[in-house]
Structure 1
């Protein structure tokens, strides 16, 4: 199944893309999806350990099951001053 991925902040900077569509297995959880991304984009592997994940504009847990056409936003922590 296909899901759209939105990258923000440091993830976007490292990958040099702001979004992509990826093919993942049916009934994948957010946790499965993060593992998939670590394999596909090893350059952001460390960043993926501390991100917030939103599916269809709602923050979600690691055990949330993704569906065809979902939009997954990966939001790294942001520091400010």
Structure 2
């Protein structure tokens, strides 16, 4: 299978976990959103500590079975905290 490249954009604590606002990520073509998240968790184990993490692709919330395509932008949206 061939590889594709996507951009991962992180907000809040997710940005701290990856060490910046964005990174490029190579995936196998046809990967689902949950598979990409599992890959990120293997590289950044701190993601396992989050109670929830919403995913958006190209500015739209997606479910775990959404197929990622080359050039997509995966946005990591952690739980919002505040007072």
TM-score normalised over the length of structure 2: 0.88
In the other structure, the counterpart of 1:57 is 59
Q: Where does structure 1 lack aligned partners over 5 or more consecutive residues?
A: none
Structure number with higher strand proportion: 2
How much has 1:40 moved relative to structure 2?
Answer: 1.4
How much has 1:31 moved relative to structure 2?
Answer: 0.6
Q: Where does structure 2 lack aligned partners over 5 or more consecutive residues?
A: none
Aligned residues: 80
How much has 1:42 moved relative to structure 2?
Answer: 1.7
Equivalent runs, 1:16-35 vs 2, <5 Å: 16-35=19-38
Q: Runs of 4 or more off by more than 3 Å in structure 1?
A: none
Structure number with higher helix proportion: 1
SS in 1 for 2:31: coil
Alpha carbon RMSD of aligned pairs, Å?
1.2
